[in-house]
Amino acid sequence: MVKEMDRGIITLITDFGTRDGYVGTMKGVILKINPLVRLVDITHEVSPQDIFEAGFILKNSYRYFPDKSIHLVVVDPGVGSKRRAILVEAGNHFFIGPDNGVFSFVYKSERIEKIVELTNKRYFLPYISNTFHGRDIFAPAAAYLSKGTPFEDFGGTCNDVVRFDIPEPETERGIIKGVVLHVDRFGNLISNISEVLFRDLARKGMCEISVGGEVLGDIKSSYSEVKEKQVLALFGSSGYLEIAVRGQNASKKLKMNKGSEIKVIY
Protein backbone atom coordinates (compact mmCIF):
# COMPACT_ATOMS: atom_id res chain seq x y z
CA MET A 1 0.00 0.00 0.00
CA VAL A 2 1.24 3.49 -0.88
CA LYS A 3 1.54 5.78 2.12
CA GLU A 4 -0.39 9.05 1.92
CA MET A 5 2.83 10.97 2.63
CA ASP A 6 4.49 9.34 -0.41
CA ARG A 7 2.13 11.32 -2.64
CA GLY A 8 3.02 14.56 -0.91
CA ILE A 9 4.18 17.83 -2.44
CA ILE A 10 7.64 19.36 -2.51
CA THR A 11 7.90 22.92 -3.81
CA LEU A 12 11.17 24.44 -4.98
CA ILE A 13 12.50 27.99 -4.80
CA THR A 14 16.09 28.62 -5.94
CA ASP A 15 18.31 31.19 -7.61
CA PHE A 16 19.72 28.55 -9.98
CA GLY A 17 17.88 29.62 -13.12
CA THR A 18 17.05 26.99 -15.72
CA ARG A 19 20.00 27.25 -18.12
CA ASP A 20 22.19 24.85 -16.16
CA GLY A 21 21.30 21.43 -14.84
CA TYR A 22 21.17 22.25 -11.13
CA VAL A 23 17.40 22.20 -10.73
CA GLY A 24 16.96 19.05 -12.77
CA THR A 25 19.65 17.30 -10.77
CA MET A 26 17.92 18.14 -7.48
CA LYS A 27 14.65 16.79 -8.86
CA GLY A 28 16.41 13.61 -9.93
CA VAL A 29 17.73 13.08 -6.41
CA ILE A 30 14.25 13.56 -4.94
CA LEU A 31 12.51 11.27 -7.42
CA LYS A 32 15.10 8.53 -7.01
CA ILE A 33 14.22 8.43 -3.30
CA ASN A 34 10.48 8.99 -3.70
CA PRO A 35 9.17 8.48 -7.25
CA LEU A 36 5.60 9.25 -6.15
CA VAL A 37 6.12 12.74 -4.75
CA ARG A 38 4.77 15.72 -6.70
CA LEU A 39 7.30 18.46 -7.46
CA VAL A 40 6.17 22.05 -7.98
CA ASP A 41 8.48 24.81 -9.21
CA ILE A 42 7.57 28.09 -7.54
CA THR A 43 10.53 29.89 -9.11
CA HIS A 44 14.17 29.39 -9.97
CA GLU A 45 14.66 33.03 -10.96
CA VAL A 46 15.39 34.57 -7.56
CA SER A 47 18.06 37.23 -8.00
CA PRO A 48 21.41 35.51 -7.35
CA GLN A 49 22.11 35.15 -3.62
CA ASP A 50 19.16 37.40 -2.66
CA ILE A 51 17.96 35.74 0.54
CA PHE A 52 15.38 38.44 1.29
CA GLU A 53 13.76 38.09 -2.13
CA ALA A 54 13.55 34.33 -1.74
CA GLY A 55 11.91 34.75 1.66
CA PHE A 56 9.40 37.23 0.28
CA ILE A 57 8.44 34.91 -2.58
CA LEU A 58 8.05 32.02 -0.14
CA LYS A 59 5.85 34.18 2.10
CA ASN A 60 3.48 34.91 -0.76
CA SER A 61 3.20 31.33 -2.01
CA TYR A 62 3.36 28.61 0.62
CA ARG A 63 -0.09 29.21 2.14
CA TYR A 64 -1.72 28.29 -1.17
CA PHE A 65 -0.46 24.72 -0.94
CA PRO A 66 -2.09 21.87 0.99
CA ASP A 67 -1.17 21.30 4.63
CA LYS A 68 1.97 19.21 5.15
CA SER A 69 3.54 20.42 1.91
CA ILE A 70 7.33 20.58 1.99
CA HIS A 71 8.94 23.82 0.80
CA LEU A 72 12.56 23.47 -0.30
CA VAL A 73 14.40 26.80 -0.60
CA VAL A 74 17.98 26.92 -1.85
CA VAL A 75 19.35 30.44 -2.03
CA ASP A 76 22.57 29.77 -0.24
CA PRO A 77 25.51 32.19 -0.55
CA GLY A 78 27.05 30.57 2.55
CA VAL A 79 27.16 27.05 1.10
CA GLY A 80 30.22 25.15 2.32
CA SER A 81 30.64 27.36 5.39
CA LYS A 82 29.59 26.65 8.98
CA ARG A 83 26.03 27.84 8.35
CA ARG A 84 23.54 25.18 9.39
CA ALA A 85 21.05 23.23 7.32
CA ILE A 86 17.62 23.19 8.96
CA LEU A 87 14.15 21.67 8.82
CA VAL A 88 11.26 23.77 10.14
CA GLU A 89 7.66 22.84 10.94
CA ALA A 90 5.33 25.85 11.09
CA GLY A 91 1.76 26.63 10.09
CA ASN A 92 1.10 22.99 9.09
CA HIS A 93 3.90 23.18 6.52
CA PHE A 94 7.52 22.02 6.40
CA PHE A 95 10.46 24.16 5.27
CA ILE A 96 13.93 22.92 4.36
CA GLY A 97 16.93 25.09 3.54
CA PRO A 98 19.95 26.93 4.88
CA ASP A 99 19.83 28.73 8.22
CA ASN A 100 20.59 32.12 6.71
CA GLY A 101 17.36 34.02 7.39
CA VAL A 102 15.48 32.81 4.32
CA PHE A 103 12.59 31.65 6.54
CA SER A 104 12.33 34.96 8.44
CA PHE A 105 8.90 35.81 7.01
CA VAL A 106 7.66 32.39 8.12
CA TYR A 107 9.03 32.87 11.63
CA LYS A 108 7.27 36.22 11.84
CA SER A 109 3.84 35.09 10.67
CA GLU A 110 3.52 31.50 11.91
CA ARG A 111 3.75 29.63 15.17
CA ILE A 112 6.92 27.56 15.05
CA GLU A 113 6.27 23.96 16.05
CA LYS A 114 9.74 22.46 15.64
CA ILE A 115 13.13 23.26 14.16
CA VAL A 116 15.91 20.71 13.78
CA GLU A 117 19.39 20.98 12.36
CA LEU A 118 19.98 18.49 9.55
CA THR A 119 22.89 16.41 10.83
CA ASN A 120 21.92 12.76 10.24
CA LYS A 121 24.00 11.79 7.21
CA ARG A 122 21.80 8.78 6.65
CA TYR A 123 19.46 11.18 4.86
CA PHE A 124 22.14 12.87 2.72
CA LEU A 125 23.86 11.68 -0.42
CA PRO A 126 27.04 9.67 0.29
CA TYR A 127 29.35 12.38 -1.07
CA ILE A 128 28.68 15.99 -0.04
CA SER A 129 30.03 18.73 -2.27
CA ASN A 130 31.06 22.02 -0.65
CA THR A 131 29.24 23.93 -3.39
CA PHE A 132 25.96 22.05 -3.94
CA HIS A 133 24.14 21.30 -0.69
CA GLY A 134 20.88 21.67 -2.60
CA ARG A 135 21.61 18.37 -4.31
CA ASP A 136 23.51 16.57 -1.58
CA ILE A 137 21.70 17.59 1.64
CA PHE A 138 18.45 19.51 1.11
CA ALA A 139 16.98 17.49 -1.77
CA PRO A 140 17.47 14.05 -0.21
CA ALA A 141 16.27 15.28 3.20
CA ALA A 142 13.10 16.66 1.61
CA ALA A 143 12.56 13.38 -0.23
CA TYR A 144 12.94 11.26 2.90
CA LEU A 145 10.59 13.58 4.79
CA SER A 146 8.02 13.14 2.02
CA LYS A 147 8.24 9.37 2.55
CA GLY A 148 7.32 9.75 6.20
CA THR A 149 10.69 9.79 7.95
CA PRO A 150 10.07 11.13 11.48
CA PHE A 151 11.01 14.77 11.94
CA GLU A 152 13.29 14.07 14.89
CA ASP A 153 15.36 11.53 12.93
CA PHE A 154 16.99 14.29 10.89
CA GLY A 155 18.86 15.88 13.81
CA GLY A 156 18.68 17.69 17.12
CA THR A 157 16.49 20.61 18.09
CA CYS A 158 17.67 24.03 16.94
CA ASN A 159 16.18 27.22 18.39
CA ASP A 160 18.65 30.05 17.80
CA VAL A 161 17.98 30.40 14.08
CA VAL A 162 19.13 33.29 11.91
CA ARG A 163 16.53 35.97 11.23
CA PHE A 164 16.84 39.10 9.12
CA ASP A 165 15.09 42.38 9.86
CA ILE A 166 11.85 42.91 7.97
CA PRO A 167 11.17 46.65 7.54
CA GLU A 168 7.90 47.79 9.10
CA PRO A 169 5.94 50.84 7.94
CA GLU A 170 6.31 53.95 10.07
CA THR A 171 3.10 55.71 11.03
CA GLU A 172 2.51 59.20 12.34
CA ARG A 173 -0.49 61.46 12.30
CA GLY A 174 -1.92 61.30 8.78
CA ILE A 175 1.13 59.65 7.19
CA ILE A 176 2.27 56.09 6.49
CA LYS A 177 5.90 55.75 5.43
CA GLY A 178 6.80 52.50 3.74
CA VAL A 179 9.51 51.05 1.54
CA VAL A 180 9.66 48.83 -1.52
CA LEU A 181 10.24 45.22 -0.46
CA HIS A 182 10.20 43.55 -3.87
CA VAL A 183 10.27 44.36 -7.57
CA ASP A 184 8.48 41.74 -9.64
CA ARG A 185 9.19 40.63 -13.21
CA PHE A 186 6.96 43.39 -14.62
CA GLY A 187 8.74 46.10 -12.65
CA ASN A 188 5.89 46.59 -10.19
CA LEU A 189 7.06 47.99 -6.85
CA ILE A 190 5.61 45.98 -3.96
CA SER A 191 5.75 47.82 -0.65
CA ASN A 192 5.48 46.84 3.01
CA ILE A 193 2.23 48.81 3.45
CA SER A 194 -0.54 46.26 3.85
CA GLU A 195 -4.13 46.85 2.85
CA VAL A 196 -5.15 45.93 6.40
CA LEU A 197 -2.98 48.71 7.84
CA PHE A 198 -4.20 51.23 5.28
CA ARG A 199 -7.88 50.46 5.86
CA ASP A 200 -7.37 50.67 9.60
CA LEU A 201 -5.71 54.09 9.51
CA ALA A 202 -7.20 55.75 6.43
CA ARG A 203 -10.78 54.83 7.19
CA LYS A 204 -12.26 57.29 4.71
CA GLY A 205 -10.18 55.70 1.96
CA MET A 206 -9.02 59.09 0.65
CA CYS A 207 -5.29 59.65 0.27
CA GLU A 208 -2.36 60.93 -1.73
CA ILE A 209 0.67 58.81 -2.47
CA SER A 210 4.11 60.33 -2.88
CA VAL A 211 6.44 58.10 -4.86
CA GLY A 212 9.44 58.71 -7.10
CA GLY A 213 8.78 62.43 -7.39
CA GLU A 214 5.15 61.89 -8.36
CA VAL A 215 1.98 62.42 -6.35
CA LEU A 216 -0.87 60.01 -7.02
CA GLY A 217 -4.39 61.07 -6.12
CA ASP A 218 -5.89 57.80 -4.95
CA ILE A 219 -5.61 54.02 -4.95
CA LYS A 220 -7.01 52.17 -7.95
CA SER A 221 -8.66 48.76 -8.05
CA SER A 222 -7.05 47.55 -11.29
CA TYR A 223 -4.59 48.54 -14.01
CA SER A 224 -7.43 49.20 -16.43
CA GLU A 225 -8.52 52.28 -14.48
CA VAL A 226 -5.66 54.37 -15.90
CA LYS A 227 -4.32 55.13 -19.36
CA GLU A 228 -1.28 53.47 -20.93
CA LYS A 229 2.04 54.66 -19.42
CA GLN A 230 0.25 56.20 -16.43
CA VAL A 231 1.54 55.59 -12.90
CA LEU A 232 -0.92 54.07 -10.44
CA ALA A 233 -1.13 52.62 -6.94
CA LEU A 234 -3.20 49.57 -6.08
CA PHE A 235 -3.31 46.72 -3.61
CA GLY A 236 -1.97 43.70 -5.44
CA SER A 237 -2.58 40.01 -4.98
CA SER A 238 -0.06 39.88 -2.12
CA GLY A 239 -2.23 42.24 -0.07
CA TYR A 240 0.33 45.04 -0.13
CA LEU A 241 0.38 48.45 -1.78
CA GLU A 242 2.01 48.33 -5.20
CA ILE A 243 3.16 51.06 -7.53
CA ALA A 244 2.83 50.20 -11.20
CA VAL A 245 2.83 51.79 -14.64
CA ARG A 246 0.28 50.46 -17.05
CA GLY A 247 2.12 48.78 -19.90
CA GLN A 248 5.55 49.77 -18.60
CA ASN A 249 8.14 48.99 -15.94
CA ALA A 250 7.55 51.16 -12.85
CA SER A 251 10.98 50.45 -11.39
CA LYS A 252 12.71 51.80 -14.50
CA LYS A 253 10.30 54.66 -15.15
CA LEU A 254 10.42 55.97 -11.58
CA LYS A 255 14.07 54.99 -10.98
CA MET A 256 13.06 53.12 -7.83
CA ASN A 257 14.13 49.78 -6.42
CA LYS A 258 14.09 47.77 -3.21
CA GLY A 259 14.36 50.10 -0.25
CA SER A 260 12.89 53.13 -2.06
CA GLU A 261 10.42 55.14 0.02
CA ILE A 262 6.67 55.27 -0.53
CA LYS A 263 4.60 57.75 1.47
CA VAL A 264 0.83 57.63 1.93
CA ILE A 265 -0.82 60.84 3.15
CA TYR A 266 -4.40 60.43 4.32
Per-residue pLDDT, 205: 66
For 50, 89, 100, 142, the CA distances from 162, given in Å and listed in that order, are: 15, 16, 6, 20
Q: Where are the domains of the chain?
A: 4-154, 170-265
- pTM of model > 0.75: yes
Burial class (CB in 10 A: 0-12, 13-18, 19+), 87: buried
Torsion-angle region of residue 26: left (phi > 0), alpha (psi -120 to 50) or beta? Answer: alpha
Per-residue pLDDT, 244: 97
Per-residue pLDDT, 203: 74
Q: How many CA atoms lie within 13 A of 29 on its CB side?
A: 26
DSSP assignment string, 100-134? SSTTHHHHHHS-EEEEEE---GGGS-SS--SS-HI
CATH code for the domain defined by 4-154: 3.40.50.10790
Going by the DSSP 8-state scheme, the letter that residue 192 receives in this structure is E
pLDDT, tens digit (0-9, with 9 covering 90-100), for 193-246: 999 999 999 876 678 999 988 899 889 999 999 999 999 999 999 999 999 999
Is 170-265 in the same CATH topology as 4-154?
no
The series of mean pLDDT values per 10 residues for the chain, 266 residues long, is 70 98 98 98 98 98 98 96 97 98 98 97 97 98 98 95 96 94 97 95 82 89 94 96 97 96 94
Nearest to 93 by CA among 74, 73, 76, 113: 113
What is the architecture of the domain spanning 170-265?
Beta Barrel (2.40)
